[in-house]
């Protein structure tokens, strides 16, 4: 009789034979998978970043796609070029700082606070309405990684909670999911920056605490929310991210089970130092992979 754990060597074989998959320590990965398979869907929670993790980094032509904040860059540029340029200038200045190998996280944090603060200030000042932002999302260049839609639906079908932990803008993710999936699946929860609207449905503030790339950990998780009770017994975590800021997203989920960290490396193939760094902090690194195939295979062996 076949046991569920028999699928693990097959999955490991698949992973180790993929050219774009890096796995520094296959023994540890197999051991984590074993605990997760034994625990099953009922003990599992998925914590995922959104921008350039659930969403694609670039299209087939190699053109960069949009982040949730980027929805403003593109649409505002069309309607109010002067304001649009401000979003673009901010990104040109701060994005290289976010990913700079020369600066420490401590050195980057004040810059990230200024970037997010300024960007959110521009959104609030302009008093964008909810319907305008929904239309911006419809017109945006946010694209799911191939298979990410099915991945979200399959988690929902197996009652595995999905926590989307994003330093982007939560409302934009909500509108995107509503537009692409028809509704937000019951299993899906958000920890993100939320635009608050006044009685006329105009943007008037952002939720607090502010979440930027380097505070994605227990410091911004509000434990009283009902979904924390829902995930209380979920000791096994699949963490999906694309940056160094994503690797602590599981800190704050109280438990003693393993976290399997899957990292999407969207950077240059020439930058071997950066790839090695990803290999140190993520159990599995997917190099310039536009699909959700690996994450889906992991969930399939657990179910």
**Closest distance to ligand TMP from the beta carbon of 73 (Å):** 7
Residues 54 and 163: beta-carbon distance below 8 Å: no
| Comparison of 76 and 275: residue with beta carbon closer to ligand TMP | 76
Q: For residue 7, what is the DSSP state?
A: H
**Closest distance to ligand TMP from the beta carbon of 51 (Å):** 4
**Is 49 one of the annotated active-site residues of the chain?**
yes
Cα pseudo-dihedral 63, 130, 212, 83, rounded to 10: 60
> Which of 239, 57, 242, 47 minimizes the C-alpha distance to 143?
57
**Closest distance to ligand TMP from the beta carbon of 52 (Å):** 6
∠ Cα 235 237 239 (to 5°): 165
| Comparison of 151 and 214: residue with beta carbon closer to ligand TMP | 214
**Closest distance to ligand TMP from the beta carbon of 251 (Å):** 15
- Structure-token match 């934009």, residue found: 172
C-alpha R_g of the chain: 19
**Gap between the terminal Cα atoms of the chain:** 17
**Closest distance to ligand TMP from the beta carbon of 197 (Å):** 19
What are the backbone dihedrals phi and psi of residue 204, each rounded to the nearest 5 degrees, phi first?
A: -130, -15
| Comparison of 32 and 212: residue with beta carbon closer to ligand TMP | 212
**Is 51 one of the annotated active-site residues of the chain?**
yes
Query: Which residues of the chain form contacts with ligand TMP (CB under 6 A)?
Result: 49-52, 67, 69-70, 87, 90-91, 98, 115-116, 119, 166-168, 213, 243, 245-246
Q: Which of 6, 25, 51, 89 is catalytic?
A: 51
| Comparison of 166 and 236: residue with beta carbon closer to ligand TMP | 166
The rounded distance, in Å, linking the Cα atoms of 291 and 54 is 9
The rounded distance, in Å, linking the Cα atoms of 202 and 223 is 28
Residue nearest to ligand TMP (CB): 69
| Comparison of 171 and 213: residue with beta carbon closer to ligand TMP | 213
Q: For residue 227, what is the DSSP state?
A: H
Q: Which of 6, 25, 49, 198 is catalytic?
A: 49
Q: Which residues are the active-site residues?
A: 49, 51
């Amino acid at each position: 009789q076949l046991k569920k754990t028999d699928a693990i060597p097959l999955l490991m074989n698949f992973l180790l034979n993929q050219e774009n998959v890096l796995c520094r320590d296959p023994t540890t990965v197999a051991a984590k998978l074993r605990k997760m398979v034994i625990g099953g869907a009922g003990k599992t929670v998925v914590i995922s970043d959104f921008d350039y993790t659930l969403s694609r980094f670039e299209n087939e032509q190699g053109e960069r796609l949009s982040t949730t904040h980027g929805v403003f860059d593109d649409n505002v540029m069309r309607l109010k070029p002067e304001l649009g340029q401000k979003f673009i200038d901010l990104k040109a200045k701060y994005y290289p700082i976010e990913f700079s190998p020369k600066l420490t996280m401590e050195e980057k944090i004040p810059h990230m606070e200024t970037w997010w603060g300024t960007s959110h200030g521009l959104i609030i000042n302009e008093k964008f309405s909810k319907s305008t932002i929904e239309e911006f999302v419809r017109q945006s260049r946010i694209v799911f990684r191939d298979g990410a839609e099915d991945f979200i639906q399959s988690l929902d079908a197996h009652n595995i909670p999905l926590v989307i932990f994003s330093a982007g803008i939560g409302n934009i993710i909500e509108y995107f999911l509503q537009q692409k999936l028809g509704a937000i699946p019951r299993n899906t929860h958000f920890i993100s920056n939320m635009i608050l609207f006044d009685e006329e449905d105009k943007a008037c503030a952002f939720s607090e605490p502010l979440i930027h790339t380097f505070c994605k950990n227990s410091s911004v998780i509000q434990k009283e929310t009902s979904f924390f009770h829902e995930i209380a017994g979920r000791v096994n975590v699949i963490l999906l991210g694309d940056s160094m800021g994503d690797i602590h997203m599981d800190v704050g989920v109280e438990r003693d089970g393993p976290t399997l960290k899957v990292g999407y490396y969207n950077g240059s193939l020439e930058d071997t130092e950066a790839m090695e760094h990803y290999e140190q902090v993520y159990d599995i690194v997917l190099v310039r992979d536009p699909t959700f195939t690996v994450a889906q295979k992991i969930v399939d062996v657990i179910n």
